[in-house]
C-alpha cells in the first residue's frame, strides 16, 4: 500500500556488494568489510523480517533505529531486531568507513536447533536494551573473526560432508559469545519490556512448560486472556515467527531429541508428545523435516 513503511524480506538483503568476503545460505548472510551501504536502505525508514548485526570496522556510521539517531564509531556493534523501524546512514567517506554485517532469519534459528534457547539468546535485541554496543578491541576482534569464519563456512559449505553442521556450529558460537558479552555491553534503556515483548515472553514460558500436552494456539491465547489472532500477530511482530511456529519448534526439537534414543519406539514418542496416533505424529514430523521419523532415525 502506498505510504506504508516497507518491510524487507530476507531475500531482499543485498548480495551484490563491494564486500571483501561474503557468505550466503538460506536464512543466513554475511558481508565482510563493505564500504557502501545498500542504497534502498538509506532512502527511508523500513522494517524487515530478519535480524541484523553490524560491526563498524573502520571510520564511523550513522543509523536511525526506532526514530533515535546513533553515531557508531570504530569497534561499535549494532543489533537490529526484525520489527525495529530503521534507516541506514552513509559511511563516513573521510575516514574510509567500512562495516561488516550478518543477517539471519527466525527460520534459520530453528534450522540451527536454537529455538528452545532463542528467547534468551535474542534478549539483547529487545527494546529493553540499547541497540549500540561499544566494544573493546579484543571483544570486537572475537566477534569480527566469528563473522569471517561464518562467511567462510557458508562459502565452502559444499566442500565438506558436514558443511551445514559447521555453519550452524560457528553461528551458534557467535550467539553464545554475544550472550556472554551482553553482560558487559547491553545497556538497559527501558526498565521493563514493552507490553508486547512481555506477552511474548509469557507465551514462550507457557509453551516451554506445556508443549508436550498442548499445541493449540487457542489454548495458549485463553491462558493469556487474549484472542488467538492477537497472540499470533504479536508473536510474529516481535520474534518473526507465528505463535503456531513457535509451538511447533518446541515440539519438533523434543521429537528429534527423543528419536535419538533408540530405546524409545516411535509410538511411545508419539504418545509422549500427545499426538492422536503415530500417523499424525509422522505427518507432523515429515511436514517440518521433510522425512519420516523412521527415516530420520535411520540417518
Q: Do domains 7-185 and 195-298 have the same CATH topology?
A: no
β pairing state of 50-58 and 76-80: antiparallel
β pairing state of 47-48 and 7-8: parallel
Pairwise CA distance, residues 233 & 116, whole Å: 20
For residue 159, the 8-state DSSP code is: G
Task: Cite the DSSP H helix spans in 241-277.
Answer: 243-259, 266-272
Angle of CA points 244, 51, 207, to nearest 5° = 25
Give the class (CATH, top level) of 7-185: mainly beta
How many alpha carbons fall within 13 Å on the CB side of residue 210? Answer: 13
pLDDT value of position 1: 35
Pairwise CA distance, residues 135 & 56, whole Å: 10
- Residue 66 cell numbers, joined: 526506532
pLDDT by residue (tens digit) across 16-64?
A: 567 788 899 999 999 999 887 665 566 667 778 889 999 999 988 888 8
pLDDT value of position 3: 40
- Residues in Cβ contact with 163 at an 8 Å cutoff, skipping those fewer than 6 apart: 153, 156, 157
Nearest Cα residue to 113 out of 53, 172, 49 = 172
pTM value is 0.66
- Residue 292 cell numbers, joined: 519420516
CA 141 remoteness from chain centre: 22
pLDDT-flagged residues of the chain (< 70): 1-6, 12-17, 37-44, 83, 90-95, 115-119, 190-193
Give the class (CATH, top level) of 195-298: mainly alpha
Return the domain boundaries, the chain: 7-185, 195-298
pLDDT by residue (tens digit) across 262-298?
A: 888 999 999 989 998 899 999 999 998 888 999 988 8
CB distance 23 to 29 below 8 Å: yes
Sheet strand arrangement including 86-91: 68-73, 60-65, 86-91
H or E element, residue 176: helix 163-185
Amino acid at each position: 500500500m502506498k505510504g506504508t513503511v516497507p518491510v524487507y524480506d530476507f531475500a531482499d538483503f543485498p548480495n551484490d556488494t563491494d564486500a571483501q568476503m561474503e557468505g550466503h545460505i538460506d536464512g543466513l548472510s554475511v558481508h565482510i568489510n563493505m564500504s557502501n551501504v545498500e542504497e534502498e536502505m538509506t532512502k527511508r525508514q523500513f522494517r524487515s523480517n530478519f535480524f541484523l548485526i553490524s560491526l563498524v570496522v573502520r571510520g564511523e556510521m550513522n543509523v536511525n533505529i526506532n526514530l533515535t539517531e546513533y553515531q557508531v564509531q570504530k569497534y561499535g556493534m549494532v543489533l537490529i531486531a526484525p520489527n525495529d523501524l530503521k534507516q541506514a546512514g552513509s559511511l563516513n567517506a573521510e575516514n574510509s568507513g567500512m562495516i561488516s554485517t550478518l543477517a539471519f532469519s527466525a527460520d534459520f534459528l530453528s534450522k540451527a536447533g536454537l529455538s528452545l534457547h532463542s528467547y534468551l539468546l535474542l534478549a539483547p535485541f529487545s527494546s529493553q536494551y540499547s541497540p549500540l554496543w561499544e566494544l573493546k578491541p579484543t571483544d570486537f576482534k572475537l566477534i569480527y573473526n566469528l563473522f569471517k569464519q561464518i562467511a567462510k563456512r557458508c562459502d565452502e559449505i559444499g566442500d565438506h560432508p558436514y558443511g551445514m553442521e559447521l555453519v550452524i556450529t560457528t553461528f551458534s558460537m557467535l550467539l553464545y559469545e554475544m550472550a556472554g558479552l551482553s553482560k558487559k555491553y547491553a545497556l538497559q534503556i527501558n526498565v521493563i519490556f514493552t507490553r508486547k515483548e512481555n506477552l511474548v515472553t509469557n507465551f514462550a514460558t507457557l509453551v516451554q512448560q506445556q508443549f508436550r500436552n498442548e499445541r493449540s494456539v487457542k489454548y495458549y491465547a485463553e491462558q493469556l486472556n487474549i484472542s488467538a489472532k492477537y497472540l499470533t500477530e504479536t508473536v510474529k511482530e516481535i520474534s518473526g515467527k507465528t505463535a503456531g511456529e513457535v509451538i511447533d519448534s518446541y515440539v519438533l526439537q523434543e521429537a528429534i531429541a527423543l528419536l535419538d534414543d533408540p530405546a524409545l519406539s516411535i509410538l511411545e514418542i508419539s504418545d509422549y508428545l500427545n499426538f492422536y496416533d503415530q500417523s499424525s505424529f509422522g505427518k507432523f514430523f515429515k511436514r517440518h523435516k521433510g522425512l519420516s521419523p523412521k527415516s530420520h532415525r535411520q540417518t
